[in-house]
Homo-oligomer: A and B are copies of this chain.
Amino acid sequence: MKIGILGGGQLGRMLIQEALKYDDEFYILDPSANCSCANISYFTQGNFNNKQEVIDFGKDKDVVSIEIEHVSVEGLQVLENKGVKVIPNSRIITIIQQKILQKQFYEEFDIPSPAFQIIQSSDEEIVIGFPFVQKLNTGGYDGKGVQIIKAEKDLVNLWDAPSVLENLVDIEKELSLIIAKNEQGEIKSFPVTEMVADPQLNLLDFNISPTQIAEDIQKQIDQIAEKFMKAANSEGLFAIELFLDKNGKVWVNETAPRLHNSGHQSQEGNANSQFEQFYRVLKNLPLADTSSAGFSGMLNLVGEENFSGKVKYKGLEEVLKLPNTYVHLYAKEETKPGRKMGHINVLGNSREELLDQLIVIKSLVKVISE
């Protein structure tokens, strides 16, 4: 089967890696000839934000999907009208790629998400209370395009662009749910994962899966997942990023219509990974078992501050000596501060054991330049 993917980054690479167990042909559209997928796929260098390039790329494929949501949905709509299978469908990508539509979508379908105000420019009257989060309508990614406005005096920093202003949640835990649906309507989710963020880089840092949560909280999450999947009305694999607040209430932070960083530990931690599951969605195959025997965790390898250029992974050999430890690099030649260059998965018997090992590993390995 000819599978076309918009985007050739690490998510595409790990999808192809998993799918090498099967017989399909992967076609990748990405602007960079050095992207993580260039040498392991049928590669087209091009702009996935350009309507015509998306149409040209997708028109002869059996299915077209994404590994990044910032793509030309107009191109995908044309492909859908031509009868090409697009997963997830262009409607839900359109909604998710614009923060304003995404918030309105949660509101419309009664999916709990923090109270918000929409602005088109910084001139508008701000009615939401302080502190709040400003999220740019488009262009936000990996913590970019998001800032916290603490008090009246910080309003001078408000970005002058269409945005969502959102109440700050008093966060107890950040959680994530990866959930998949195939064409037959089968739906399966992974165990809920806990994310521990790096406050400085605003990047996902550690994942722990499964998280330990009370039955009531799991129930809230199940309800959110059910409402979301009904409202999304699309095949695909989705990551629902959640806040658990200090009062025990669960809120949707945002959603990604694709493979997600918070599911990477599933590569060794679960009976099947998010990549296997997404592959099965693309092929409309029976969904895979997502259970886990023990606990798994993940640490992102991001470029250190003050290092730019040809990447070097300092301390990696020490990490390779550790048991229950799995290194994943993304074949990116150049590092820069904060760039996601790889991740390391660990397996263990408890949350505490995993955290201890992740902290050791974090101290051992550094992503620097030569």
Contacts and interface: CB of A to CB of B under 8 A. Distances in A.
Copies assembled: 2
Interface residues of A, number: 32
Given A40-B40, A321-B286, A323-B271, A328 B17 contact: no
A20 B23 CA distance: 17
A44 to B, nearest CB: 14
Contacts of A293: 293
B329 A22 contact: yes
Contact of A20 (B17, B311, B326): B17
Most chain B Cβ neighbours within 10 Å, of A21, A22, A321, A328? A21
Contact of A320 (B25, B39, B286): B286
Contact of A22 (B16, B21, B39, B327): B327
B42 A289 contact: no
Nearest to A288: B320
Interface string A26-68: 0000000000000111100000000000000000000000000
Contacts of A339: none
A124 interface: no
A331 B40 contact: no
Nearest to A313: B23
Contacts of A23: 311, 329-331
Given A286-B320, A323-B271, A20 B40 contact: yes
Interface in A306-338: 311, 317, 320-321, 323-324, 326-331
B39 A317 contact: no
A300 B61 CA distance: 31
A17 B21 contact: yes
Contacts of A327: 21-22
Contacts of A39: 25, 41-42
Interface in A227-284: 271, 280
Given A39-B42, A320-B280, A326 B286 contact: no
Nearest to A294: B293
Contacts of A311: 23
A181 interface: no
Interface string A178-208: 0000000000000000000000000000000
A340 interface: no
A317 B285 contact: yes
A103 interface: no
A99 interface: no
A16 B22 CA distance: 14
6 contacts: A16-B20, A17-B21, A22-B329, A23-B331, A40-B40, A280-B320
Given A23-B330, A286-B320, 17 more contacts: A13-B20, A14-B20, A16-B20, A16-B40, A17-B20, A20-B20, A21-B326, A21-B328, A22-B329, A23-B329, A23-B331, A40-B40, A271-B323, A285-B317, A288-B320, A289-B323, A289-B324
